[in-house]
Structure 1
C-alpha cells in the first residue's frame, strides 16, 4: 500500500489571487520537490490553520475585521467541507491554538489585541460561544505598537496558563485556565521596550520568545506557580544583511530537539540556536538564506519547509546532523503563509 503524507497550506488573498487552503502530497519514499500544490478551497485570508486533537476537523482564521474562525470536516480524500463559522472575538486573527482536551480554541487577534476563546462542540466544530478578552497598552515603535496586538498563544508547561505574546505592548499575558476557559484577568510579564513579541516556545522552566521588532530571541526563566517570567538572555537572531528589505523582523519560532529555529524576514534567512542542557542559555549557531519573507516553517523528517510569502513558493531545505542546508528545491504556491503537517 502506498502511504501518502500531506500538508495543509494557508495562503492569503491578494489583489490578483484569492486566498485559500492548499494541499501538498508526498508518497512514501517520494520527494516534496516533486509535489504540486492543489487548491482545496477558496477562502478569505486563511493565514493560520490548526487541527482538532481528536475529531476530523481543520480550523482556519479569516483575517478580517471583524475576524472569523471556520471549522472544516476533512473526509477520507482530504476534501474540505465547512461545518461552522463564528467570530474570532476581535479583529485580524493571526494565530490559533486548540486546547489538548479539544473543548476550547484560542484565537489571537492582531488587529485589536484581543484574545478570543471559542467553545467547541462535541463534534469539534466552532460554536457561537466566544469569550472576548480585550487588552490595552502600547510600545515605543510607531506604527507597530500604537495599541495591543496579540500575535500568538501557547500553554505553560503544566497547562495552568495560556500565555499570549502581545507585540503591541511588549508583554506576555498569562491567563489562568479553568477547564480550558481563560480567566479574564491576565498576569503580565513586561519585556524590554521595542521587543515586539511574536511567537513563543515553552520548554519546562523556560520560555523562548521571538522579538519581531527587536530582531532578538529572548530567554525567560518562568515561574510556573506565579505565571510570570524574567528575561535572562537576549540574542540577535541574524548577522546577515537585508535582502528583500532592510529589516530583521522575526517570524515563527520552532523548537527542534536541542535547538531553536526562527525565520528572519528582510534578511530572508533561517537562523538556528543551540540550547544549553539546562535550557537557560542559547547561542546562534547557523544561518541559511531561504525564500523571500519567510512567514512560517515546519520540520518534516529530515527537511525544513519554509513558506516564502513574497516568493510565492515553499522552499525545501535538507537537514543533516542537525544542520539546515541551503534551499535545494521549491514548490510554487501563491503567497503561502502557514504550513501544517498531517
Structure 2
C-alpha cells in the first residue's frame, strides 16, 4: 500500500440511509494527531460494523437492516476510494458485527434480530464466495424487554483460527464453536453468565489464552481463560465498568486491549466514559485505574489505532473524539482533536505492515 509514513487511513461506519453518506474515509496524522475527513460513499443502509483485510485492500461492511447484507468494497491503494465488489444476504435481520478470521479465509457475521451466525468463504480479490456455515440460536433470557429472544451481538475468532465465540446478549451465554476446515461451525459448548448480563463484545489478549467480554445489560466486564484443549472459555471474574458513586442508567458499549497487552479499555453509554483497567499478569484479573469522559454521548465504538491513539465514536453527539495513550501507564489523555459527522458507530483503521511501526 502506498501511504505517507506519518498518516493512518481509517474508515467510519454510521447509522444512515442509503441516500446518505454511510461510510466515511478519514486520515490521522500520527505526529500531530490531526484528523480529517477525505471522502465517503452512499448506497448502504446502516453500515454499523466494518472489517478490513489484512493487506487493507478490501473493506467489509454489515448493513444493519431488516434483511441483512454484507457489502464488500475494493479499496483504491492510492486514493482509498471504495468500489463495490459484491453484496451477500446474511439470511437474517440486523447484522451488527463482522470479523475476518486471522488467516483471512473466512468472514464471520452475527445477526442481532435474525439470531443466526454466518460464515462466508473469502474468494478471489477478497470478494465473498458462498456461505459455508450457519447456525441459529433459540431460547430466551430473563429480561422480558431485552432478552425475549436470542440476540447474537458478535462472532469472534480465536487467534489460532480454530474456534468462533458468539456473545449472545439475549441468552446470557458465550457459545464456543469449532471452525471446521470447510467453514462449517460445530458447537463445543457455552459459557453461562449471570442472569441479565447481556454479553455483547469479546476481545482476545495477544497471548490468545485470555479474553475479555463487555456485558451490555449489567455494565460489567468478564475476564476469561481459554482452555487450550477444547477452546472453552472459563470465567476468571467480573468487574463493573462504572464508578461506585454512579447511580444513573448505563449500558456497556465496546472493549479493547492495548497493543502491549497490559491494559483494557471499555466504554459506558450513559455514564459516557471510558474505563481503563490494569491486567494482572499472573491471574488475568482486571482492576480499574481511571474513568475519562468521552466528551460526547453514547460511545458505541472504541478503536485503538496505530501511533498510540484511541478513537471513540459517540453515536448520539455526532462526534469522534481522540485520546493519546500514555505508553508507560496506559492512561488516556484527551488531545482536543475530533471529527464531526452524523451518527458514527464504528472505526476501522489500516494497520502497519509487519515490522513497520
Cα pair 1:250 1:264 within 8 Å, conserved? yes
User: What aligned pairs does 1:228-243 form with structure 2 within 5 A after superposition?
Assistant: 228-239=232-243, 241=246
Cα 1:175/1:77, change in 2 over 3 Å: same
User: What aligned pairs does 1:118-137 form with structure 2 within 5 A after superposition?
Assistant: 118-129=120-131, 131-137=133-139
Tell me, in whole angstroms, the C-alpha distance in 1 between the residues paired with 2:164 and 2:81.
Answer: 32
Tell me, in whole angstroms, the C-alpha distance in 2 between the residues paired with 1:327 and 1:308.
Answer: 16
- Give the secondary structure class of the aligned counterpart of 1:123: helix
Cα 1:37/1:313, change in 2 over 3 Å: farther
User: What aligned pairs does 1:70-89 form with structure 2 within 5 A after superposition?
Assistant: 70-75=71-76, 76-89=78-91
Equivalent residue number for residue 66 of structure 2: 65
Single out whichever of 125-134 and 163-172 deviates more from structure 2: 125-134
Cα pair 1:274 1:282 within 8 Å, conserved? yes
Equivalent residue number for residue 316 of structure 2: 310
1:296 is the counterpart of 2:301: yes
Task: Identify which of 199, 206, 219 aligns with 1:215.
Answer: 219
Normalised to the residue count of structure 2, the TM-score between the two structures is: 0.88
* 1:260 to partner: Cα distance: 0.5
**Count of aligned positions:** 337
CA RMSD of aligned residues (A): 2.2
Question: What are the Cα deviations for residues 10-45 of structure 1, in whole angstroms up to 9, with x where unaligned?
Answer: 011269x83510011234634324x23632334211
Tell me, in whole angstroms, the C-alpha distance in 1 between the residues paired with 2:271 and 2:333.
Answer: 16
Unpaired runs of at least 5, structure 1: none
1:7 is the counterpart of 2:10: yes
Equivalent residue number for residue 54 of structure 2: 53
* 1:58 to partner: Cα distance: 0.7
Tell me, in whole angstroms, the C-alpha distance in 2 between the residues paired with 1:318 and 1:185.
Answer: 40
Cα pair 1:37 1:333 within 8 Å, conserved? no
Tell me, in whole angstroms, the C-alpha distance in 1 between the residues paired with 2:202 and 2:4.
Answer: 37
Tell me, in whole angstroms, the C-alpha distance in 2 between the residues paired with 1:12 and 1:181.
Answer: 30
Cα pair 1:306 1:315 within 8 Å, conserved? yes
- Give the secondary structure class of the aligned counterpart of 2:225: strand
Cα 1:323/1:28, change in 2 over 3 Å: closer
Tell me, in whole angstroms, the C-alpha distance in 2 between the residues paired with 1:210 and 1:227.
Answer: 19
Tell me, in whole angstroms, the C-alpha distance in 2 between the residues paired with 1:22 and 1:211.
Answer: 28
Tell me, in whole angstroms, the C-alpha distance in 2 between the residues paired with 1:80 and 1:21.
Answer: 9
Task: Identify which of 267, 277, 280 aligns with 1:276.
Answer: 280
Single out whichever of 267-276 and 113-122 deviates more from structure 2: 113-122
Cα pair 2:135 2:185 within 8 Å, conserved? no
Unpaired runs of at least 5, structure 2: 351-357
Normalised to the residue count of structure 1, the TM-score between the two structures is: 0.91
Single out whichever of 145-154 and 185-194 deviates more from structure 2: 185-194
User: What aligned pairs does 1:185-264 form with structure 2 within 5 A after superposition?
Assistant: 185-203=187-205, 204-239=208-243, 241=246, 246-256=248-258, 257=260, 258-264=262-268
Task: Identify which of 85, 91, 111 aligns with 2:93.
Answer: 91
* 1:191 to partner: Cα distance: 1.2
- Give the secondary structure class of the aligned counterpart of 1:48: strand
Tell me, in whole angstroms, the C-alpha distance in 2 between the residues paired with 1:19 and 1:139.
Answer: 37
Question: What are the Cα deviations for residues 58-117 of structure 1, in whole angstroms up to 9, with x where unaligned?
Answer: 100111121000111111211111111001232111111112232211101111221011
* 1:254 to partner: Cα distance: 0.3
